[in-house]
Homo-oligomer: A and B are copies of this chain.
Amino acid sequence: MNLKELSKALGLSQTTVSRALNGYPEVNEATRLRVEEAARRFNYRPNSRAKGLATGRAMVIGHVISASSQNEMVNPIFGDFVAGAVRGYAEHGYSMIVEYVEDREETTAYRNMVSEGKVDGIVLQSPNVDDPRIANLSDLGVPFVVHGRSSNVTDPYSWVDVNNQRSFQRATEFLIELGHRRIALINGVEDLDFARRRRAGYLQALEDAGIAPDNALMRSDEMTEVYGHHAARDMLRIDNPPTAILTASLISALGVRRAIEEAGLVVGRDVSVITHDDDLSYLKNGQDVPIFTATRSSVRDAGVMVAEMLIRMIENPDCGPQTRLLEAELVVGRSTAAANI
């Protein structure tokens, strides 16, 4: 059932029916009710492509995942972010389109999405420290919001980010307060801006405590379980092994724990583990835990915020770049952190 058929069935013009359905004020209230009833009865829904062609709006937000970001994708925080974003989109009648490109051809994908008229706005995830995609998107003139920041980009752009530096700094400080001196960092790929910031926070805390950083205790790679496992395993074998491990994601944390177990050690007794991108908020209920950081829920919140910011930009093209920095809550489980050193 299309508009033509519906209007014929009603004995009205397409114009009137369209107006009635789109809430235009000039249509007679009785007519509107009649039209709405018929639309419901015939299960009429306007064709989105025709509508988009006529209005010039797609009501779609574009996301791109590339082969190289696949591990990032598989990271649970990707799902959390998407869950939040999609929810935010839905609130305003938008949906999300996801495209996949090999390698780092994302810029081409963005350009095509825009010139094909597929999207009204774009979300960029996991920017690098120096990310040309941001300038490319600016040049395209399409509204976009970055989840995260790109340190080396000086021109203004819109972003929503979690304060990763502060989270890691606080987590490290917390371990230092417990008496740890040998604290390992199992970080993500440090081309990624958020990973670099995490490292900066870690280093800052060490410096403030007068602890010299040790390269043997710092790793950086794709956040997989195997990476967490190998990194922790290797570190635990050195002469002066870490007594605490700070790891960036749920996934790598699982590998870290497995490596500790395999080394015959006990998590929380021999080695402390703090995991970012983890949801420990439940530990706050009725347990005497020191409060510190959790971000799975922050990431979902970030998704919702990105959606709202982007849609605001789309529907109000005059408003300039906006930014938003979220503080992650830090929660550390007692047994996990209170190691004997």
Cα A336 to Cα B279 in complex, Å, equals 23
Is the CB of A70 closer than 8 A to any CB of chain B? yes
Known contacts A76-B75, A87-B100, A225-B278: does B254 contact A45 (CB below 8 Å)? no
Which stretch, A12-20, A23-31, A109-117, touches the partner chain B? A109-117
Contact of A117 among B48, B87, B335 (CB under 8 A): B48
Determine if B47 and A117 form an interchain contact, defined as CB atoms under 8 angstroms apart: yes
What chain B residues lie within 8 Å of A275 (beta carbons)? 254
In the complex formed, the residue of B with least CB distance to A57 is B49
A58 within 8 A of B: yes
A44 to B99, CA, bound (A): 19
Provide the bound-state CA to CA distance between A290 and B90, in Å.
47
A window 98-136: CB within 8 A of B: 98-101, 111-112, 115-118
A49's contact among B58, B86, B226, by CB below 8 Å, is which? B58
A223 shortest CB reach to chain B, Å: 11
Contacting residues, chain B, for A50 (C-beta < 8 A):
49, 53, 117
Contact B97 A279 (CB under 8 A): no
- Decide if A163 is an interface residue (CB 8 Å cutoff): no
Instruction: Give the distance in Å from the alpha carbon of A258 to the alpha carbon of B257 in the complex.
Output: 10
A281 (CB) vs chain B CBs: closest residue: B226
> Could you say which residues of chain B place their CB within 8 Å of the CB of A199?
none
B90 engages A45 (CB within 8 Å) = no
Taking CB atoms, residues of chain B closer than 8 Å to A225 are: 278-280, 282
Inter-chain CA distance A134–B89, complex, in Å, is 26
CB of A272 to closest CB in B, whole Å: 11
Contact indicator B258/A336 (Cβ below 8 Å): yes
Cβ-closest chain B residue relative to A266: B266
* Given A74-B296, A95-B97, A258-B336; 19 other pairs, CB 8 A cutoff: A1-B115, A45-B116, A49-B52, A49-B53, A50-B53, A60-B97, A65-B83, A65-B86, A86-B99, A90-B99, A95-B118, A96-B99, A98-B98, A225-B278, A226-B279, A226-B282, A229-B282, A250-B251, A257-B257
- A residues contacting B by CB (< 8 A) are 1, 43-50, 52-53, 58, 60, 65, 70, 73-76, 78-80, 82-83, 86-87, 89-90, 95-101, 111-112, 115-118, 224-226, 229-230, 250-251, 253-254, 257-258, 261-262, 266-268, 275, 278-280, 282, 296, 300, 333-336
